[in-house]
Structure 1
Amino acid sequence: MSRPRDIGKFPSLRRSRRRAPTMETGARASAPSAVAFQGVAMTPGREQHGLLSRGEEKDRLLLLLSDARQGRSGLLVLRGEPGIGKTALLEEAVTEAVTVGMRVLRATGIEMEAELAFAGLSELIRPVQGLVGGLPEVQARALRVALSLEDGEAPDRLTLGAAVVTLLTDAAAAAPVLVTVDDAHWMDETSAQALLFAFRRMQAEGIAVLVTARDAERCAFTEANANLPTLRLTGLTPADAAALVKRSVHAAVDPDTIGKLYRETAGNPLALLEAAPTLRASRWVTQEPESPLPVGPRLTAAYASRLAALPEPGRRAVTVAAAAFTEEADVLIRALDALALDAAILRTLESAGMISLAGNAVRFAHPLLRAAAYHRATPQLRREAHRVLAGALSERDGPVDRDQRSWHLAAAADGPDAAAATALTETAARARSRGALPAALRAYARAAELTSSPTAQGRCLLAAAEVAQLAGRGDEALRLAGAASDATDDVAVFNGALGLRSQVLLLRRQPREVHDELADSAEGLDPAAAVPLLVAATGAACMGGAVLQARATADRACAAAGHHRNGDLGHSAVVLRAHTMMLAGERGDAAAVLRSCEGFLTGMDPLSIGIEVTSFSSMDLMWLERFQAARTLLERAVRRARKFGACERLAPFLTVLAETQMRTGYWDEACALASEGGMLAEETEQPVLQAYALSVLARIEAARGQSAQCVEHAHRFRVLLDGTGAELVSPYIEAALGLLELSTGKAAEAAARLTDLQQRVLRSGLAEPTVLQHQPDLVEAALAAGDPSAAQAASAELLRQVRQAPSVWGQAVSERCQGLVRAEEDTLRRATAHHERLPDPFAKARTDLAYGRLLLRTRRRGAARRPLLAARQVFERLRADPWTTAAEEELRAAGARTPARHGRATAPLTERETQVAVLVSKGHTTPEVAAALFLSPKTVEYHLSRIFAKLSVRSRTELAGRLSTFPQGNFL
């Protein structure tokens, strides 16, 4: 390509961009020109905004900056209609931050860049990119791959978010940092997700974050589930609006005219400034306007009228500038050269107040002007602009340049275009490899639109569906998978779409309906396609509580596997079959099947096999009381998932491990694991898993008598599972609430709840009592409520199930229940003997309590003290306060002195504090804890200081002594 013409006429386009001396900026930022928080600020490249009556808003911003300077992190989202003053406030905050010596990192969303993966993140961190090398290697690699600085496996989005946390924390080591994200509604989604993840985890790094977004635009930072501190800007007061107008027109304006203007604009500063020049004309001073003033969406129309006044070359040039993904003047001048337009036209546009030229950047005066320039242009002009911009980028070979060029080619096409489709497919593959799933999804979908070949179109749509599923967009994945099947007769596409549909439906629709659809779809398919459908159908039936149906479908999956029996496909079917056998009460057979799969389970890669294989098999091992085997399998899976940042897989592994630790008496560790698993399940949009994690927390809180926390978690559980039909998961919370009522002395309520639960469970076909473990609670509650016949019936049913499928826990608690119902000392003594073979201290302590009470009632006070004291010691260690109190009351009745309880926390630990406390007590360093929990080291230390204060300890050694004794497992 020839050298762009007339570049010599623009020396400013060759100069480096001016920056404020103490401020670091992103690629599109420039220093503000206003004095902080005084009157009206002029935002470079934007219209003048009135900040005259923004006292409350300014105070919020000053507090945000002050907190950062004192080591606290905070975030504020400024929302409002276009022109309301969001950017002006942001610029004043930047000026204040620079004045007090803070480092400033900036990013601005641009509408045309919304398709470019990680464009916003790249801009934000460019000034501190040199710090990437100091990050933990897995985080550094994630950032380098995401930003196309190196090739590699796609980074997990949560690992990438953790990398952003660490990088910003390192950037704040020398000085507090202000991070600004302007026009967040136009930021590419991949950047927004990474930044949102990071911002929500900042607490003690000394980082202030300020985000601006429009009210009417969808944005990750303004979604309801983001739950971020938000300040909604409204119009100026009438007095300040009048002052702004008078200053703008440099003349006195009568009050009636000001009132009319204010009513039309609702005090919107930009609308006031747009309309104010008309006051110099005659009629506005004395008459009503003939048409409404431009405000909100009407501002765009006002800009359009200015664009219409341009000559034809000016309209073509401004359309090219508006269509560009980059503000680089060199690219724009090459594009104009292809249209035979002189580069001097840029000066004309600058003189007209439409753009500004600074360094090598071309910026529009306001985002609305850019939007008007693009969207008001004819389709022909827009396609022309994209065509020449694609040509201007053809000599560049960087990955970002190739991505921009492919999108320009796509926008220039007015029908099927093989070259554009191929280029977009390559862009989509690059985006997926960098973990930019939303960008990859849009690229694959657009490539399908540009493809004329049915086979190629089906493959593009299937690829888009796979990306949508990974991104947590199940509805969109279903739509795209259906479109892929409709587009082509290709067998591979059809099978792939069918398998993907099964995975998505499992969490999207009623499980029993999903089972029926998948089981029917598998009919007549070859095994490679049928087995995954039948395995998913089995899982759906299990979740839906249709145990017998799940059992039959699992048998069918194993039969369909046939010669695949020794491969991963066959083993997946066999493991699911063992799971259904456990649920149906075929305990011995399930144990034998799992033993036959042990080599596979211990040797498999938990990240390359179906997630249900590891999760369900470890559950089965837990129910079979092979706790160490379950723990080993899960800890290995957790470590591998952490290493590769596979957080979608990490959530279920952590949650099942949490229940394993809960059942073996490691309650603090279980709380930490369940909290982390639940948070990750929420991040990765897995509501059933999140609910399961909440049920583990609720069970422990119930035993500890923490009513408020237990009830709150139960409410969240129900909201998550409402309408999902997850009938095998939903009973967990009823069991927890029944235990809470029993623990807190509400025996009648507990008996009623647990009786309903028992009937529901029996109807479902669930015949394995170790799954929910609610039946002993039902027996005790019925006895305490004065209903011995109900207690006898529940005890008899438990005994029947235990005889059918013997387990140590079942034998111990069924003997305890029989001893309670019949008041038999020998039966309770046998129960305590069974407990010696089971690592479940809470269950044993309850049996000891029941045994001691019976001895006390038969006036054997001396003999009663030993089991009562043993029970009291376990209850206190577990911090099961209602049960500790009950044991102490019985001890006093037995004539024993109860030793003083250990010190208690002045306030309960939060879920995050529990996670930190457990990991620190196991000997892990602050950086290790930070990496495991996706936090910054400073935030870990912040939580640790609060933990020390709450528990009244002064060291990590004392902390370890205060918490429960933990096994030697390593799940980091």
Structure 2
Amino acid sequence: MTGTPRLVGRTSEVQVIADAVTRVSSGEGGIILVGGEAGIGKTTLVNYALKSHTRTSEPTIQCRCPGPGETIPYGPWREAFLNLQMYGGRWEPSPLPIPFGSAPALTESFEVALSLIRWLRSAGRPLVITIDDLQWSDRASMNLLRQLSGRLHDVPLLVIGVYRSEDLYHFTDIRRVFSDMLRTGTQRILLQELNRVEVEELIRAIVPSQDNPSRLADEIYRLTHGLPLFVAEILEQFKDQRYTAVPVSETVQQAIDRKLNLLDPTYISVLEEAAQIGELFDFRLLVDISTSTKEAVTTALDEAKQLGLIRNVDSQSDTFQFRHAIVRLYLMNWMHGVRLVRCHQTIAEVLERTSSDSFDAIAFHYRRAKDARSVQFLVLAGDHALRVGAILDAEERYQHALELLPKGDGMHAEILLKLGFCMRRRSEVNALQHFETALDLARQSGDLPVEAWVSYLLYERAYDRGDRVVLDDIATLSALQERLLTNDRYLYLEQLFFREHCEYPRIVMVYWSFLYTHGRLEEAEQLLSDLQKNVGAQNPQVLRMKTRLNAFLGKLDDIIDTAHELSKAAYHRHDDWSATILFTNYLYHTYLSKTDQLDKVDAIIQELMVLENQVNEKNGFGFMPKGYSAAGFYHYTRGNWKEGRKHLVDYVLEEPEPDSLITWFAAVMLVETADSDALDAVLAKLAPFRPADPPPPSTTVFTWVHAIRAQAHLLRNEVDMAKVWLEAADAHPLSQVSKLHRPFIDITWTDYYRRTGDQTKAIEACERAMVWAEAVPIPWFIIKARRRLGELQCELGEYAQAFRFLEDATSLAQTCQLPYEAALSRLSTGRVWMALETTEESTVRPEMVTRRDIVIDCLQSALDVFSCLGAREQVEAERLLDAVRTAKTSTANTRSAHPDALTEREWEVARLVAAGLTDKEVAAKLHVSPRTVDHHLRSIFRKLDVRHRTALAVYLSKQED
């Protein structure tokens, strides 16, 4: 609607956009799709609404898709961010992934959307982006738009996509994306023609001097059916008073011909050539490809500008744009036959000389010219799309290249390799077919780089699926890679597939993984040593491999710092997922092996919480669920079961694919607390699912999974199934050498043998678990093994040894601040005392009187912990405590008022109270309740014959003197 002072008949549509602009200014974004046929006034509507309702300080970025088959991956978004840089300040795009910024490219549109949302939140200012001719968009851009749909409710971004509705019938994929977007909250405006009343209103606005606007409206509406472009074009003539009657203009051709007829035929020829270039065209390119002289081209463009057919793009004097895409399409259809072929061939050749990286445009024009060179540039365009993470666009270009490639051409194998790589995550069956065909062709032609990479991708699939693979084949493939390390084409393919995440040399590393998984650790260690020499000791992948190997060998001190540094490096390169995963592993290694170093563990927990908060603030829509961390294990073992369940069990139940380590911790918590309500749901997400299943790609928790499944079966008295899982764990090669994983397996074997009544084997398994755990050492496992050994010694009648093991377990649990483990050991102490008390010899042992007081103290502390946690052991602790207090043992020997008569816990309470701490402060420091502190204090006053805290402090000070 050129020259109209205001919009007519679009009040409600303008209001929709105005409301969206208001919302985005307050931080609530969204997406609006504006559709309609060519000439309906879509762009005019959007520009009018934005100009009327946006502030000049708020960036409104315009971009467009140039034409069918001409839009490069992320083309309109890249144009938008290029234009946005002129605003500077908070709009620095470097944190974004390639091609928007300098961060590593991402292959998933979901991850790209995530990074964009983070960046917009950090910018903290509203942004409006309009994308014109969205029907010609590339697939990567459309997928990004679909991922943003429904997720901008608290993000200050408004995207307005303008598209031609009639063209959607030719673009099925985009029509499907639009349907998905509309279901997730995207708004749509479908413009219709003006009615007769609105046409008359437009006449009165544009040509106020018209004598009979009503009759003129009747005639114009009859000819144009209210299409705003035609109405405006006709009224322009009346405005200039060139016509006294309505021109006969019933079709698009008649509307455009009125202006084209004012041009010299030579100039029309120039515009036809410009139309073949694209909706945007460069003056120098047009001169190079035109059959007219430079002077004729210059004159033709000047005339076309005066007639309003073309215009300059912004302030670029050498770049032009057709004002109406419909005019360009009309001119394109005027060129036919040899002239059309020659024109496109010339455009492609000139672009190849002057803009060699315009792969999509060159391929497009060679294809229009039916030139075989289009295959080469389609492949290059696919490579470029693959580098920036536009997988579907890359796949589309490779597919087109294959369709145009003559049979028997040597490029077949390489294109099939690339096509299979793009399809492997989306359509595994088709990808495998491409790989197998590519492998046959590569072997026939002796194409070693392609053969090596196809073989690698096939083995990678086998590794991920746990399929049986012959190690000798991997070794042969590894040797082939060694021969190709200086082959430029081989290295090009590696960089193309894996970019900055390149784990060079990948095939050797896959070979290492198979050696490691199959328990051939000496060979794996030697290969890792060779890799460190060839690749560098600080290569991230090499460091991760070294960490995994040392974990199985129990060299935890060697891996803790490495894991920490790897996590920091991942965080600094904006890879938050890897950073948190690595840090979680760092925490769990540190926590298992350094539980008694409380300050260090607490510092690590705080560091992880800071990292998680930062990640969650940047994420916004659940990519990293709140509370994801090994901190859940920390909370659970420290007695905070509510937080532990939230961080562990709730995370696993809510997340579709939870981390295997956290899932294992959740299962441990449920098994050890006998919480069977959610146990099946958690175990259902923990691979492997059957004892005979092969190991998963990551064997970090493989044997632990077998052990916890066995524990779950024992909890349900399914002894036979527990044995099947334990035997499968023993059969795994790594379980024979892993100091990290073996203790938990042997502890589970101990429980199995005790359940079946085989005390001898139970003791053997438990002693073996103790040796493994102390070799690392892993305090958590040591405590569990000592407690079980104490109970087993009691069953054999070795009460003194039983008490010693349980006291050691309790002491270590207290040192490590593991209240539940300490309470379990104290409960077992009560069981042992009751077993001893029922024997005849107990009555003649004077130490039983003193021991009884200690046991009462133990059971009271255990009961307090169990009550606080709501643990199932609470009932047994209460029963034992009552039984011990009313035991038949003689109490003739009374306790003297001497500090030596105090128990170890009473000593701790006495010193803290004497130091001036309140009952609540003492309880917090000793991880007990104030009620327990009060119980201890009353016992202390009775034993020392003192009546209040001050007297206690004086008494203890005299004892110290």
Q: Shared fold (TM-score greater than 0.5)? A: yes
1:79 aligns with 2:66: no
1:509 aligns with 2:428: yes
Between 1 and 2, higher relative CO (CA 8 Å, sep ≥ 6) is seen in 1
Q: Any residues of structure 2 matched to 1:190-339 within 5 Å, and which?
A: 209-214=159-164, 216=168, 224=180, 230-235=186-191, 241=195, 243-248=197-202, 270=228, 313=265, 315-316=268-269, 319=272, 322-323=275-276, 338=293
1:784 aligns with 2:743: no
1:105 aligns with 2:60: yes
Supply the distance in 2 between the matched residues of 1:598 and 1:332 (Cα, whole angstroms).
Answer: 52
Supply the distance in 2 between the matched residues of 1:521 and 1:675 (Cα, whole angstroms).
Answer: 51
**Letter matched to residue 355 of structure 2:** T
Supply the distance in 1 between the matched residues of 2:189 and 2:791 (Cα, whole angstroms).
Answer: 65
**Of 516, 538, 545, which residue of structure 2 is paired with 1:582?**
516
1:60 aligns with 2:19: yes
Supply the distance in 2 between the matched residues of 1:869 and 1:755 (Cα, whole angstroms).
Answer: 32
Distance verdict in 2 for CA 1:627–1:50, change over 3 Å: farther
| Per-residue CA distance 1:268-288 (angstroms, 9 max, x = gap) | 9748958999xx9xxxxxxxx
Supply the distance in 2 between the matched residues of 1:843 and 1:208 (Cα, whole angstroms).
Answer: 55
Distance verdict in 2 for CA 1:571–1:844, change over 3 Å: farther
Supply the distance in 1 between the matched residues of 2:25 and 2:727 (Cα, whole angstroms).
Answer: 66
1:469 aligns with 2:419: no
Aligned to 1:374: 331
Aligned to 2:889: none
Supply the distance in 2 between the matched residues of 1:167 and 1:766 (Cα, whole angstroms).
Answer: 33
1:660 aligns with 2:616: no
Supply the distance in 2 between the matched residues of 1:854 and 1:602 (Cα, whole angstroms).
Answer: 51
Q: Helix, strand or coil: the match of 1:782?
A: helix
1:539 aligns with 2:460: yes
Alpha-carbon shift at residue 542 of structure 1 (Å): 0.4
RMSD over aligned Cα atoms: 6.8
| Per-residue CA distance 1:895-923 (angstroms, 9 max, x = gap) | 2347989xxxxxxxxxxxxxxxxxxxxxx
**Of 453, 476, 497, which residue of structure 2 is paired with 1:556?**
476
Aligned to 1:963: none
Alpha-carbon shift at residue 581 of structure 1 (Å): 1.9
Aligned to 2:690: 759
Aligned to 2:527: 593
Alpha-carbon shift at residue 748 of structure 1 (Å): 7.2
Alpha-carbon shift at residue 422 of structure 1 (Å): 6.9
Indicate conservation of the 8 Å contact 1:179/1:209, yes or no.
yes
Indicate conservation of the 8 Å contact 1:76/1:230, yes or no.
yes
Indicate conservation of the 8 Å contact 1:505/1:514, yes or no.
no
**Larger CA Rg, structure 1 vs 2:** 2
1:95 aligns with 2:14: no
The percentage of aligned residue pairs carrying the same residue is 13
Indicate conservation of the 8 Å contact 2:73/2:141, yes or no.
yes
Indicate conservation of the 8 Å contact 1:78/1:232, yes or no.
yes
Alpha-carbon shift at residue 817 of structure 1 (Å): 0.5
1:713 aligns with 2:668: no
**Of 889, 895, 899, which residue of structure 1 is paired with 2:863?**
895
Alpha-carbon shift at residue 373 of structure 1 (Å): 2.9
Which deviates more, 212-221 or 56-65? 212-221
Supply the distance in 1 between the matched residues of 2:749 and 2:79 (Cα, whole angstroms).
Answer: 69
Alpha-carbon shift at residue 52 of structure 1 (Å): 2.6
Indicate conservation of the 8 Å contact 2:33/2:189, yes or no.
yes
Supply the distance in 1 between the matched residues of 2:611 and 2:440 (Cα, whole angstroms).
Answer: 38
Q: Any residues of structure 2 matched to 1:629-778 within 5 Å, and which?
A: 657=582, 660-661=585-586, 663-664=588-589, 704=646, 709-714=651-656, 745-746=676-677, 749=680, 753=684, 757-759=688-690, 761-762=692-693, 770-771=701-702, 773-778=704-709
| Per-residue CA distance 1:728-758 (angstroms, 9 max, x = gap) | x9x9999799779758523773698489944
Supply the distance in 2 between the matched residues of 1:269 and 1:832 (Cα, whole angstroms).
Answer: 86
Alpha-carbon shift at residue 232 of structure 1 (Å): 0.5
**Letter matched to residue 443 of structure 1:** I
Supply the distance in 1 between the matched residues of 2:646 and 2:458 (Cα, whole angstroms).
Answer: 38
Q: 5+ unaligned residues in a row in structure 1: which ranges?
A: 1-41, 148-152, 281-292, 384-410, 431-438, 684-689, 718-728, 877-889, 902-972
| Per-residue CA distance 1:135-181 (angstroms, 9 max, x = gap) | 889669989xx89xxxxx998579999999999899x89x8654444
Alpha-carbon shift at residue 88 of structure 1 (Å): 4.2
Q: Any residues of structure 2 matched to 1:351-370 within 5 Å, and which?
A: 367-370=324-327
Indicate conservation of the 8 Å contact 2:67/2:278, yes or no.
yes
Alpha-carbon shift at residue 66 of structure 1 (Å): 3.8
Supply the distance in 2 between the matched residues of 1:536 and 1:177 (Cα, whole angstroms).
Answer: 42
Distance verdict in 2 for CA 1:364–1:799, change over 3 Å: closer
Supply the distance in 2 between the matched residues of 1:620 and 1:741 (Cα, whole angstroms).
Answer: 29
| Per-residue CA distance 1:51-90 (angstroms, 9 max, x = gap) | 13337614532432541xxxx2624333322366643442
Indicate conservation of the 8 Å contact 1:45/1:364, yes or no.
no
Indicate conservation of the 8 Å contact 2:34/2:188, yes or no.
yes
| Per-residue CA distance 1:191-226 (angstroms, 9 max, x = gap) | 989999999998989665544344526779969589
Supply the distance in 2 between the matched residues of 1:900 and 1:632 (Cα, whole angstroms).
Answer: 36
- How many pairs were matched up? 739
Aligned to 1:424: 352
| Per-residue CA distance 1:802-826 (angstroms, 9 max, x = gap) | 6863201332111221122234785
1:413 aligns with 2:343: yes
Q: 5+ unaligned residues in a row in structure 2: which ranges?
A: 205-211, 239-248, 492-503, 592-603, 634-642, 822-857, 870-961
| Per-residue CA distance 1:370-421 (angstroms, 9 max, x = gap) | 34433432336985xxxxxxxxxxxxxxxxxxxxxxxxxxx85366x6x944
Q: Any residues of structure 2 matched to 1:940-955 within 5 Å, and which?
A: none
Q: Helix, strand or coil: the match of 1:212?
A: strand
Q: Helix, strand or coil: the match of 1:79?
A: strand
Supply the distance in 1 between the matched residues of 2:302 and 2:483 (Cα, whole angstroms).
Answer: 74
Aligned to 1:443: 362
**Letter matched to residue 87 of structure 1:** T
Alpha-carbon shift at residue 782 of structure 1 (Å): 0.8
**Letter matched to residue 710 of structure 1:** V
1:51 aligns with 2:38: no
Supply the distance in 1 between the matched residues of 2:458 and 2:556 (Cα, whole angstroms).
Answer: 28
**Letter matched to residue 53 of structure 1:** S
Q: Helix, strand or coil: the match of 2:359?
A: helix
Supply the distance in 2 between the matched residues of 1:356 and 1:222 (Cα, whole angstroms).
Answer: 31
Q: Helix, strand or coil: the match of 1:377?
A: coil
| TM-score for both structures, normalised by structure 2 | 0.57
Q: Helix, strand or coil: the match of 1:76?
A: strand
Alpha-carbon shift at residue 591 of structure 1 (Å): 3.3
| TM-score for both structures, normalised by structure 1 | 0.57
Q: Helix, strand or coil: the match of 2:60?
A: strand
Q: Helix, strand or coil: the match of 1:773?
A: helix
Supply the distance in 2 between the matched residues of 1:765 and 1:346 (Cα, whole angstroms).
Answer: 65
Indicate conservation of the 8 Å contact 1:638/1:654, yes or no.
yes
Q: Any residues of structure 2 matched to 1:953-964 within 5 Å, and which?
A: none
Supply the distance in 1 between the matched residues of 2:631 and 2:405 (Cα, whole angstroms).
Answer: 44
| Per-residue CA distance 1:674-727 (angstroms, 9 max, x = gap) | 9999999999xxxxxx9999999999899646666534432x68xxxxxxxxxx
Q: Helix, strand or coil: the match of 2:462?
A: helix
Supply the distance in 1 between the matched residues of 2:556 and 2:71 (Cα, whole angstroms).
Answer: 48
Alpha-carbon shift at residue 762 of structure 1 (Å): 3.1
Supply the distance in 1 between the matched residues of 2:697 and 2:180 (Cα, whole angstroms).
Answer: 38
**Letter matched to residue 370 of structure 1:** V
Which deviates more, 515-524 or 815-824? 515-524
